[in-house]
Structure 1
Amino acid sequence: MKRALWFSFLVLLSLMNVGNSAKILGLFVTYSKSHLIIHKSVMEPLIERGHDVTIVTTLPLEDSGKRYRHIQLDVPPAPKEFMSGIVETSQSLFGLLLNTKKVTDFSLEYSNLALHDPKMKRLMEEESFDLVVFGVFFNMFQIGVAAHFKCPIVMSFMQRPMRLVNTIVGNPLEVTYVPEVFVGNVQPLGFFDRVKNFLMVLAMDISFLPYVDYKTEHLYNYNFPSEKYPTYSEMLKNISLVLTCSHLSEGVIRPNVPAIVEVGGIQVKSKPDPLPKDLEKFLDGASKEGAVYFSLGSNARSADMNSETIKILYNVLSKLKQRVIWKWEENERPGNASNILFKKWLPQDDILAHPNIKLFITHGGHGSVVESKYHGVPMVGIPLFADQFANIDAVQKAGHGLSLGKEKITAERFKSIVEEVLSNPTYRNKVQEFSRIYKDRPMSPRDTAAYWIEYVIRHRGAKHIQSPAVYMNLIQLYGLDVLAFLLAILYVVIKILAFVFREVFRLFFGRNSKNQNKDGSEQKKNQ
């Protein structure tokens, strides 16, 4: 009898969940596995809450088909030369600008191919959705998918709010104390940092953003013609929410509009998954000296570094007392040291959660830095491109680790930095202190994301949380029209006052002058 009642209760509960569930499309067209990990983490609490979730990707998902539908589109992956070329030219300002253009162009082309995949076209013809959760990375024209389904849209962004995102939701531009992503993560800004930040924002507003907007709008109009869909500018006003992979505890401190919700660390599991048996045995056996984890992320490859650098890294790591897990992408390894375990792909979050991990040698991608700080693991950073230089600079300034430029790698320097972070407890103590602050929140990142996404669904787009800045052009937003109006009034007032002053002056002093002239004339006549 009790079992029957319990079963009836579970059935009723499941029916309640189904009744309250929404059809949600997760559109994550990205060639970066690290980006997909974050976007997928946004969807997981929605799946757990019983929503009808469809996830569209161009990359495979390990748990595909578990309690949700997965559609993988057939888009060719980014060529190896694409990322290696970016790494090689990323040091200079010119290299940064050139790489940004390359990434923009490739991302737009890649995303456009995804929209024309037969599976995607079939989905748009046959399905309907209550909400689109959209992973954004230079593919904003895909917001037209939400226009097609006539539903609200939530953006998932894998960084803190930057200029490209801020302009969309009307987040205020605070150029004097909020550094752009490529400028740095450390506040307050010194004088020359403020100059650099101002010039960076100016350069983006004058050249980069107009270029991106032009290319994006062109692709939007091509895929979503105006005779059937709202315009691109109208759809930008339809974005209900942006989930950013950032948190106030890690900086940068800035004011955010209500449509920006911070979910930094969302990819970190509350309880790590069990490690594969070989990894578990390898790490459990490192209880005495500990272990080092070395990975350059999902985009760059350790194997693509020059042979001399690889030799230096191997020689130093193979002589450590600690065991080393090295993400190595090729079958041919740099050596066969007994203390090094090579793997092509690794469950990074689960590895960093292991108590025997003493050091993380990382490229400094935002996700990697977040996971390392969350688990209280100090770092040695070897930044390669994009925001990684700023991320590792912030790590070093916070005392959470040390930085080493890839062009400065020598055996002596690499060994010295690695041994310093391993042997000096200051780095570990500081990053673990930060970890406690980072975890101290009223809601977990996943619960926060789920609550606000469901909030948008409940309130049909939640237009009431939008900033009025979304509906203002630049002239209105920065009060240039008001300033011009006030200056015009001031000009008219000054003109009127000048005219009145002249007339008064002429009335009083002009009469006296005439009287004086008249008296002078009469005196001359009398003489």
Structure 2
Amino acid sequence: MLQYQSCGIFALLCVSLISFTPSCDGGNILVFPVDGSHWINMKVLLEELHARGHNLTVIRASTSWYIPEESPMYSSITINMTEDERFEDFFDEFLREQMRLLKAPGVLLARYLKLPVVLNVRWIPSGEGHLAIAPTPASYIPAPGSGLTDNMTFLQRTKNLFFYGIILFQQRFIVGPHYDVVCQKYFEGECDIISVLQEADIWLFRSDFVFDFPRPTMPNIVYIGGFQCSPAEPLPSDLEEFVQSAGEHGMIIMTLGTLVNALPKEVADTIASIFAKLPQKVIWRHKGERPSTLGNNTLIVDWMPQKDLLGHPQTKVFVAHGGTNGIQEAIYYGVPVLGIPLFFDQFDNLVRLQARGAGKILQLADINGHNFEVALKEVLLQDSYRENMQRLSRLHRDQPITPMDKAIFWVEYVMRHKGAAHLRTEAYKMSWFSYYSVDVVLFLLTVVTVLLLSVMVLLRSLCCRNRRKLKDKQN
């Protein structure tokens, strides 16, 4: 069962299924992906699975933005939906379609049919994926949204604990109840979204410890950060000509991701005016109104080959929103980042780069002609940013096996062995007071207290007896 889930803290749960076919080399994989930029990411993994002989079926909504119904790589099951239908409606319709289209068992619900599960994930509905499965001490692991690093002062640790409290509150009272409706409808007994996620055999985690802060992990977490990265391809001839015209000054590229087509006009005009002052060439993905202050050195495009531009030796700075894909590609190619975070995990991603001296953060609300120019020139002209990012790139690339090969191995591992239950901890089934040994501590305290009281009673009894004997002698 291949499951894909990735998005911000308020993500939509995504479930996908896999069945094992022992009579052939490839398996049958049913994929339930998240749309948008996450599909662009997932597609890279599916292309590799398809190339290795696996049969893919993708579940998609009729309102999908990016997931095509027809593809030589996979067959699809399209669920008819309107824009305002809820996840529960999608789930109901999905089950009805499965009963109608798929005769064999093994493709309805992984938990219901006890099929193996692989997650391609960084975020879960209530926050960062580690929160569901790995020990997460608040003393040195920054909570999502806190903007903190792993080196916190007392006040920062207090702030961090407060943010963790918010996450727990969201999971318990805001996010969780939406998924409880589905769980209670289709599963017997007590069930919640976190327990369903914890039953996954393997978590393909789209991060690594070159990018992320060191932290406790679990044996069924496989880190595949940058798995979508590959050597840059040659640019189209017209784009290459524009890039080469930059000469020794090099090039700046800017994009704010697939979900944001344009900035507010006044902000776009401000940024364009600063670009116009620079000797560098600029390629800017911008689909809004053309900025009135645009210079001759700036090329506005609707789409750009981002990886190929990042991998071009002329690229000096990447102005980006801080999405996971873009950050990992910047690390892979060694290009420093000027980050303008907008939403979801982008600020946290950029905090990690800034902490390593490989990027700088500029809040969208704070952008003006002065601070944007100062920040851009700082990242562009100070050698430390490029040197630190290229060091991260060398660390990231120095692996015994590529992240993509690692991802494919573990998907096929789960298929070969029909799961990887031996890698899952039993800690998930423990109550919080058992997990933290509160019951053991209370028991030991009780034993110690009883022993101390017994000794005190015994000593008091002996003292009283001695006093009586002494008194009797005196009489």
Q: TM-score, normalised by structure 2?
A: 0.84
1:198 to 141, 161, 170: 161
Alignment of 1:97-136 (within 5 A): 110-117=86-93, 121-123=96-98, 125-127=100-102
Contact 1:41 1:446 in 2 (8 A): no
1:290 Cα deviation after fit: 2.0
Q: Distance in 1 between matches of 2:228 and 2:433?
A: 39
Q: Where do residues 285-434 of structure 1 align in structure 2 (5 Å cutoff)? A: 285-303=245-263, 305=264, 307-330=265-288, 332-335=289-292, 337-434=295-392
Task: Compute the displacement of 1:465 (Å).
Answer: 0.5
Q: CA deviation at 1:216?
A: 1.7
Where do residues 169-318 of structure 1 align in structure 2 (5 Å cutoff)? 169=133, 171-184=134-147, 186-205=149-168, 207-211=169-173, 212-222=175-185, 224-226=186-188, 235-268=196-229, 270-273=230-233, 275-276=235-236, 278-303=238-263, 305=264, 307-318=265-276
- What secondary structure is seen at the aligned counterpart in 2 of 1:151? coil
**Equivalence for 1:9:** none
Count of residue correspondences: 450
Distance 1:360 1:350, change over 3 A: same
Look up the SS of the partner of 1:248 in the other structure.
Answer: coil
**Structure-2 residue corresponding to 1:463:** 421
Q: CA deviation at 1:423?
A: 2.6
- 8 Å CA contact 1:159–1:366 kept in 2: the answer is no
Task: Give distance in 2, aligned partners of 1:110 and 1:350.
Answer: 38
Q: Deviations over 1:308-345 (max 9, x none)?
A: 22211111123322222212123x32246432222233
Say whether residues 1:51 and 2:51 are aligned partners: no
Q: Compute the displacement of 1:294 (Å).
A: 0.9
| Pair 1:146-2:103 in alignment | no
**Residues 293 and 359, structure 1, Cα contact 8 Å, conserved in 2:** yes
Deviations 1:104-148 (A, max 9, x none): xxxxx7533432446x6323543379988xxxxxxxxxxx83235
Deviation at 1:363, TM superposition (A): 1.4
CA distance in 2, matches of 1:113, 1:59: 18
Q: Residues 73 and 288 from structure 1, CA distance in 2 versus in 1: closer, same or farther, beyond 3 angstroms? A: farther
SS of residue in 1 equivalent to 2:254: strand
| CA displacement 1:57-116 (0-9 Å, x = unmatched) | 3332479513322445455569xxxxxxxxxxxxxxxxxxxxxxxxxxxxxx75334324
The alignment partner of 1:486 has SS state of helix
Give CA-to-partner distance per residue, 1:419-472, whole Å, 9 cap, x none.
Answer: 232233332222112111111111111111111111112222211011121221
Q: Which residue of 2 aligns with 1:22?
A: 27
Equivalent AA in structure 1 for residue 102 of structure 2: E
Structure 2: 5+ residue runs without aligned partners? Answer: 1-20
Amino acid at match of 2:53: G
* Greater share of residues in helix: 1
Q: Partners of 1:272 and 1:64 in 2: how far apart?
A: 28
Q: Distance in 2 between matches of 1:287 and 1:113?
A: 56
Instruction: Tell me by how many angstroms 1:251 deviates.
Output: 2.4
* Structure number with larger C-alpha Rg: 1
Could you tell me which of 64, 75, 78 is aligned with 1:69?
A: 75
Q: Once the 2 structures are TM-superposed, how far is the Cα of residue 238 of structure 1 from its aligned partner?
A: 2.7
Shift of the 351–115 alpha-carbon distance from structure 1 to 2, 3 Å rule, reads farther
**In structure 1, the residue corresponding to 2:210 is in which secondary structure?**
helix
**Aligned-partner residue type, residue 409 of structure 1:** I
1:39 and 2:42 matched:
yes
SS of the residue corresponding to residue 156 of structure 1 reads strand
Give distance in 1, aligned partners of 2:406 and 2:45: 10
- The CA distance in 1 between the partners of 2:248 and 2:83, in whole Å, is 42
Indicate conservation of the 8 Å contact 1:372/1:378, yes or no: yes
Query: Following the alignment from structure 2 to structure 1, what is the Cα–Cα distance between the partners of residues 301 and 122?
Result: 25
Q: Counterpart amino acid of 1:462?
A: A
Structure 1, 470-479 or 411-420: larger mean CA deviation? 411-420
CA distance in 2, matches of 1:377, 1:63: 35
Code of the aligned partner of 1:333: R
SS state at 2:249 partner: coil
Query: In structure 1, the residue corresponding to 2:109 is in which secondary structure?
Result: helix
Q: Give ranges in structure 1 of 5+ residues lacking alignment.
A: 1-15, 79-108, 133-143, 520-527
3-state secondary structure, aligned to 1:20: coil
